[in-house]
Amino acid sequence: MSQPAAPAKKGLSGRAIGGIVIAVVVLIFIFTNWQSVEVKFLFLSPTMPLAIALALAAAGGFIAGFLIGRNRYKK
């Protein structure tokens, strides 16, 4: 006997909804901080809007998470 096919899932998963919520909160936080600040990294000390520094940090975290997490789903 064959088993009936499982119904296809519709909509977004909980993980996708959580990721969207976090992304929106991070973007709101970034775009409300436009004052210029001095950012110190290694031997550099540029002055830039805090929003750009936060966006760079968020992008770096996203890339690191992507690279670390992609090994989990490889088959």
pLDDT in tens, 13-43: 787 888 889 889 988 988 888 899 998 888 8
Scored b (16 or more CB within 10 A) or e, 20-55 reads: eeeeeebeeebeeeeeeeebeeeeeeeeeebbbbbe
pLDDT at 11: 75
pLDDT at 9: 65
Q: What's the pLDDT band for 6 if we cut at 50, 70, 90? A: low
Tokens for 65?
């998470």
d(CA 3, CA 6): 9
